[in-house]
Amino acid sequence: MNLENAKPHTQINLDRFYEELKVRYTYLFKNNSEYAYAAQHTTPEQLARKMTLGLEQGTANKDGAGIKSTCAALGIAYTYKAIRAFLTAQ
């Protein structure tokens, strides 16, 4: 994933988060009716990119099954502070 706005030292964790979130959104788009609207207007890849960058920059909402399950899979506490710490780790 090309995250042109990402800081160089954060690229590895941003990539890890993005890749996991993309998998979660792919599943949710197919299996969760709450994601039906999103599935009609974007792709899992586009949404994962937008949310990953938004969380890194502090502009995205963490609420939702995709972010929550991604945090669980990566061992990140489900808080803004913990998510940003992971995404900006050096």
Q: What is the pLDDT of residue 10?
A: 61
Confirm whether 36 is domain-assigned. yes
Confirm whether 82 is domain-assigned. yes
Confirm whether 49 is domain-assigned. yes
For the entire predicted model, the pTM comes to 0.87
Confirm whether 59 is domain-assigned. yes
d(CA 89, CA 29): 30
d(CA 12, CA 52): 12
Range of the domain at 72: 8-87
Per-residue pLDDT at 50 exceeds 80: yes
Confirm whether 3 is domain-assigned. no
d(CA 19, CA 37): 22
Rg (CA), the chain: 12
What is the count of structural domains for the chain? 1
Digit-coded pLDDT (tens) for 10-44: 689 999 999 999 999 999 999 999 999 999 999 99
Confirm whether 77 is domain-assigned. yes
Digit-coded pLDDT (tens) for 58-88: 999 999 999 999 999 999 999 999 999 999 8
CB 84 within 8 A of CB 56: yes
Confirm whether 74 is domain-assigned. yes
Q: Which helix (H) or strand (E) holds 45?
A: helix 44-57
d(CA 24, CA 29): 9
Q: What is the pLDDT of residue 11?
A: 85
